[in-house]
Amino acid sequence: MTKKEETKVVKNCLSKAGIDAKVKHDSACWLNIEVISSCNEMLEKEIYRMVQQVTGRHGLYDGRIMINY
């Protein structure tokens, strides 16, 4: 999956879950998610789970997924 395809899949997944977020990749292939709606630790764990499920990312540093809110 390309970075562009992965970004689109993650945006759609979060949108369907009602989570308002911006999704980008950085130069080191980290997937950066900026949650715009309110977020707490429970929601953050759920976002990690959903993103890992749709992208197949896992492992070191939660599959190189960074969530900011």
Q: In b/e form, how buried is each residue of 41-68, taking b as 16+ CB within 10 angstroms?
A: eebeeebbebbeeebebeeeebebbebe
- C-beta of residue 68 within 8 angstroms of C-beta of residue 35: yes
Residue 60 has pLDDT above 80, yes or no: no
Residue 67 has pLDDT above 80, yes or no: yes
Q: What is the predicted pLDDT for the residue at 27?
A: 85
pTM, full prediction: 0.88
Domain assignment of residue 8, given as a range: 3-68
Domain count, the chain: 1
Tokens of 16: 């369907």
